[in-house]
Structures are given as C-alpha cells and as structure tokens.
Amino acid sequence: MIPLSPRQLPQFPAVFEWGAATAAYQVEGAAEEDGKGPSIWDAFVRRPGAVRDGHTGATACDHYHRYAEDIALMRGLGLDAYRFSISWPRILPEGTGRIEPRGLDFYDRLVDGLLAAGISPVPTLFHWDLPQALEEGGGWLERDTAYRLAEYAGVVADRLGDRVRRWITLNEPFVHMAFGYAFGVHAPGRALLTGALPVAHHQLLGHGLAAAALRERGAERILTTNNCTPVRLLPGAGEADRAAAEAYDALHNRLFNDPLLLGRYPDLKAYGASEDLDGAVRDGDLDLISSPPLDGLGVNYYNPTWITAPGPDAGLPFDLAEPPAEPGYERTAFGWPVVPEGLTELLTGLRSRYGDALPPITITENGCSYPELDDRRRIDYLDGHVRAVAAAIEAGVDVRGYYVWSLLDNFEWAEGYHQRFGLVQVDFETQTRTPRESYAWYRDAIATQHHG
Ligand code: BGC
C-alpha cells in the first residue's frame, strides 16, 4: 500500500498535541548507576525463561547517558510533548524513606533539556518498575504501596514541580495487574488469577493519593493512563459469548475507568469477587480515587480483543479468541491485528458510556512493531490511527493529543529486544540511532499540522 502523504491528513485543532512516549526501564539502562535501587524488573529478568533469549534492560538504549542525543531526535520531529516515566527506585532506592539526589538530578537535566528544546515534559510516575524492596513487602497486593506511591510523588514534585505542570500517575494498571500478578508473564511474576484483583484497587488508591500529593504542590493537570480495548465477538456468537465479552469488558476496561470516572466498581460477580473486592476497598477510598475528577484520561490503544465463552476447564469467565478470518487483518511483527477503526470505536464508546464524566482524552500510546528501516507498514499504521482519532473528534469526542509508542526501539518487556516499536531504530550493540522512514513521515505530518 502506498502511504498517504501527511499533507492529506485532516487538520487537527491548533491545541492538539503531537508527542512520543517511552518508559524508564525500557530505555534508560544504567540499572545500577548513581545509587539506583533494584526494581522488580531488574529481579524478574534474571529468572530463567522469563524474557525471550534472556535479554535484560540493564543497558537498554542507554538513554540515561544519551538523553541529549534523544532530545535532539525529538526536536528533529518537532514534538510538542514527550511522555517518559520516572524510575521510582532511582529516586527512592528502597521505595520509601531515603532519597537519592543523583536520581532526581537526572530527571532535572532531562526536563531542562526538553524545555530548552520547546518540548513539554509529561512524566508518568509508575510504569511498572516497582522498587524491589516494596515487592518484598507484598508489592501492590499491599495497601501500603499506595501510600508509598504518594510519598514518591511528593518527592519528585518537590524537585520538578516548578517546571512540570502535567503528570500521569499510572501506566496501564490493567496490564500490570493481569500480566504481572494474574498470569505471571511480567514482573513480579505472580500467577494469582482472580487473586490479583486487590492489585487493581491498590494501584487506583495510589493514583488518588499521589494525585492529592501532586495537587498540593501546584500540579495543573493530572491524568492517568489506561490501556483500553474494544471487545468484539466472532460471527455467530451466542448468549454465552456475549456474557463472556461483558465479563472481559468489565475486567479490562471498566475495572479501571469506572472507579476513576464514576466512583464505583463494575459488577465483578463473574470473577467471584464481592463489591468491596474481598475487603480491599475501605470507606472513603472511592472518593479519593474519583475526586477531584481527572483533568484528562490517557488512553493507550493497540488493537481490539475478540472474546468467546470459556471452555470447560477455563479458570476465568472468558476465552481470548483469534480475530475472525473475514475480513482478515494485517498483522504487525508482534502478530497483533491492525484495526485502526477500533480506535474510533473505542473513543466514541467511552463517550457514550461516560458522557460528561469523561474528561478530555490524550492518546498516550499507539504504535506497532516492525523491524525494517523503510517501514511503510508503520506509516500506514500511524496514518490509519491518526485518521481514526480525527473521526472520533468529528463524532464529538474531546481528544487533545496523540503520542506515538515509541520514540526509540527499546526493551519490549517479556519480548526483550525482539519487537521494534521505534520511529528511530536502535542498534543495541553500538547504540547507534537511525531514524526510520516513519520518523520522516511523522516529522512532516507534525510540520503540516503546525504550519498548514
Ligand atoms: C506499554 C508499553 C509497551 C507497549 C507495547 C504498552 O502496554 O505501556 O510499555 O512497550 O504497550 O507492548
């Protein structure tokens, strides 16, 4: 397919932000430098078989040392905003108490460098790299971890809050709960199935407490980022499949959006859970989570999820299905189906579900894995998804920004360096950065939006 020229993209509102995103453990490296404590990912990657080919994030993109070169790449794109995450164990090596000033110094330099390049810094506080010391105390299964997130939020806001106006508290609490605690394929590698549900509540409570700590320090806008997926059925689906899809939607989407936006949990009886998530939810928690309301919702979208009724031995009330053979979908190198219209469906669906309770949305991640330098397939993907956002805006959804995942090829969690999501290719032997065709496409698309 010939990629469409960025000149033909619809014109977005002038305030719409164009960005790119990364996360600390995936790009920084310097895992043991300047007093940084170990995170659950530093521990998990050592488990035999946990990550493909035993890859680790110990060096990753060496962004900790090469951030100035990476900011120059962002400036070359003309980005309005850069979403990165702060490594909690770089700031509080034991997760609480003792502060490591050299960790704060790094983010200070990064923020100053971004501002000097005219790029808004948008830090995420928690993108899955919990200090290992907190994991040893129970991690997110423990209520206390929520209070530790707020303590850490206060420490970073004290240092960066004079320049950082906008914060994202959590990244994809669903994926962290599901992959990290229910299925054990991500750190901390626990396989508790429905026993992981308190992890949802404790992360959300952590959001509420951290948001309060940030607001006390003058933060202007507070977001949290959820991974959202439109849930789809296969042709010929019946009653049992519909019930399974509803149960999956409750777990993936509503478990995280409902408490934040409506101040209540969805019905989770299909998972055998009581309304207070088996005692995890205490009086006042839902108020802390939902008010004051979010200033924006970060939405990460990759693809829809097809669901069927569970088989006889399933431990959960749904089964994940392959996308239907018809109409047939392109697949990324990761094997994920390419479904741009799923993003319009998702955004308009959020608007109909939450109405005026839905704050402005920023697409805080969207992207695809393709290894080649001449990555027309990524251009097609991005072009299609940017148009899908335009269609949602046209349909009345308030979307304020679009951030590509990712600026750089990086450590793709359990896949190690095998999946390449970057606008910029990274050679992990030499640390050479080479912009792909999609980098030029995005640069031109942004320039056209800025200058017409
Ligand atoms: C995560 C990223 C990840 C990306 C691609 C998102 O779930 O926030 O850290 O690299 O998807 O898998």
Residue nearest to atom 10 of ligand 1 (CA): 412
Is a pLDDT exceeding 50 seen at residue 375? yes
Q: How far is the CA of 283 from the centre of ligand 1 (A)?
A: 33
Report the DSSP pairing between strands 432-435 and 424-427: antiparallel
Is a pLDDT exceeding 90 seen at residue 6? no
Say yes or no: CB of residue 175 within 6 Å of ligand 1. yes
- Contact (CB, 8 A) for 207 and 260: yes
Q: How far is the CA of 36 from the centre of ligand 1 (A)?
A: 23
To the query of whether residue 365 is one of the catalytic residues in this protein, the response is yes
Both structure tokens of 131 = 């200090």
Q: How far is the CA of 22 from the centre of ligand 1 (A)?
A: 9
Q: What is the pLDDT of residue 2?
A: 47
Say yes or no: CB of residue 404 within 6 Å of ligand 1. no
To the query of whether residue 69 is one of the catalytic residues in this protein, the response is no
End-to-end, the C-alpha distance of the chain in Å comes to: 25
The ligand 1 atom at the shortest distance from the C-alpha of residue 406 is: 10
Is a pLDDT exceeding 80 seen at residue 179? yes
How far from 195 is each of 162, 271, 352, CA to CA, in Å? 41, 10, 31
pLDDT category of residue 7 using cuts at 50, 70 and 90: low
Both structure tokens of 337 = 């189906």
Both structure tokens of 407 = 């600026």
Q: How far is the CA of 414 from the centre of ligand 1 (A)?
A: 11
The ligand 1 atom at the shortest distance from the C-alpha of residue 227 is: 7
Is a pLDDT exceeding 90 seen at residue 3? no
Q: What is the pLDDT of residue 1?
A: 45
What is the chain's length? 452
Say yes or no: CB of residue 365 within 6 Å of ligand 1. yes
Cis peptide before 230 (omega within 30 of 0): no
From 170, 177, 365, give the residue whose CB has the most ligand 1 atoms within 8 Å, as the site to mutate.
365
Using one digit for the tens of pLDDT, what is the confidence trace for 395-423? 999 999 999 999 999 999 999 999 999 99
pLDDT category of residue 245 using cuts at 50, 70 and 90: very high
Nearest to 44 by CA among 185, 140, 188: 188
- Contact (CB, 8 A) for 351 and 345: no
Say yes or no: CB of residue 368 within 6 Å of ligand 1. no
Say yes or no: CB of residue 412 within 6 Å of ligand 1. yes
Report the DSSP pairing between strands 305-308 and 319-321: antiparallel
Query: What average pLDDT is seen over the chain?
Result: 97
Q: Say whether pTM exceeds 0.95.
A: yes
CATH number assigned to the domain with residue range 6-451, chosen from the 4 options 1.20.1260.10, 3.20.20.80, 3.10.180.10, 3.40.50.12780: 3.20.20.80
Say yes or no: CB of residue 345 within 6 Å of ligand 1. no
- Contact (CB, 8 A) for 21 and 403: yes
Is a pLDDT exceeding 90 seen at residue 451? no
Q: How far is CA 372 from the centre of its chain?
A: 24
Catalytic residue among 172, 246, 345, 412: 172
| Domain ranges within the chain, ordered by starting residue | 6-451
Say yes or no: CB of residue 409 within 6 Å of ligand 1. no
Q: How far is the CA of 245 from the centre of ligand 1 (A)?
A: 23
- Contact (CB, 8 A) for 178 and 191: no
Using one digit for the tens of pLDDT, what is the confidence trace for 23-72? 999 999 999 999 999 999 999 999 999 999 999 999 999 999 999 999 99
Using one digit for the tens of pLDDT, what is the confidence trace for 143-165? 999 999 999 999 999 999 999 99
